[in-house]
Amino acid sequence: MKEEAKLTNEKIKGEIQLAVKISNALDDIRTNKATIIRDTKEMKQPKVEDIIISVIEPKPFPPPGTYEGTVSLIFESTIDP
């Protein structure tokens, strides 16, 4: 099963907001959490990227419900001096 995770990197008044939205093929929203990183420097451009997360499920699939996990986000920012 593959799930899409959308990474939104948006500049808002000196703050960089990272939001991760994970959904499956049926557009079922699994996780929608946002992390705000304080930053006093401006980014050159707001950036939106799509990333793919591959999930290997055990067989049989676990019962429907709410599951929590960890998603690592790695991004680079180039700031002009």
**Full-model pTM:** 0.18
CA distance 52 to 64: 22
Domain ranges of the chain: 1-81
Task: Kindly indicate the confidence band of residue 14, based on its pLDDT and cuts at 50, 70 and 90.
Answer: very low
Residue with token string 């995770």? 5
Q: How do residues 56-73 score in pLDDT, each as one tens digit?
A: 445 555 566 666 666 666
* Spatial CB neighbours of 19, under 8 Å, sequence gap ≥ 6: 6, 7, 8, 10, 32, 33, 34, 35
Q: How do residues 17-57 score in pLDDT, each as one tens digit?
A: 455 555 555 555 444 444 444 444 444 444 444 444 444 44
